[in-house]
């Protein structure tokens, strides 16, 4: 069993539901996509609606950062996670 930290930035509704801006999830040999689905399954429909689009994939308005240095594109969600990875899920807001 391994553990990964998941941080939610600019997602106050998700942080409120999961109990904080950062949670730790236990997993076994999972991809990033599976981890995000596991978070959605554990915390219910409201979190699922924030994290996943209608196609069941990561919402297009969200970006993922691995270990505070590697941006993971939406089509790179099959990347295997490693023990103690730090995954940041953030909403990128556009302004004008």
Q: Does domain 2-91 have CATH number 2.60.40.1730?
A: no
Using CA atoms, how far apart are residues 89 and 62, in angstroms rounded to an integer?
Answer: 7
pTM passes above 0.75: yes
Q: For tokens 């979190």, what's the residue?
A: 47
Contact 17, 47 (CB under 8 A): yes
Over residues 43-60, the pLDDT tens digits come to: 999 999 999 999 989 999
Helices (H) and strands (E) in the chain, counts: 3, 5
Using CA atoms, how far apart are residues 61 and 91, in angstroms rounded to an integer?
Answer: 6
Using CA atoms, how far apart are residues 2 and 66, in angstroms rounded to an integer?
Answer: 16
Over residues 16-42, the pLDDT tens digits come to: 999 999 999 998 879 999 999 999 999
């Amino acid at each position: 069993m391994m553990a990964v930290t998941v941080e939610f930035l600019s997602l106050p509704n998700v942080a409120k539901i999961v109990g904080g801006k950062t949670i730790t999830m236990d997993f076994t040999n999972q991809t990033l996509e599976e981890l995000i689905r596991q978070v959605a399954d554990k915390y219910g429909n409201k979190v699922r609606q924030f994290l996943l689009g209608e196609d069941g994939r990561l919402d297009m308005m969200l970006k993922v950062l691995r270990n505070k240095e590697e941006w993971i594109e939406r089509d790179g969600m099959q990347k295997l996670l490693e023990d103690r990875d730090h995954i940041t899920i953030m909403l990128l807001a556009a302004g004008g």
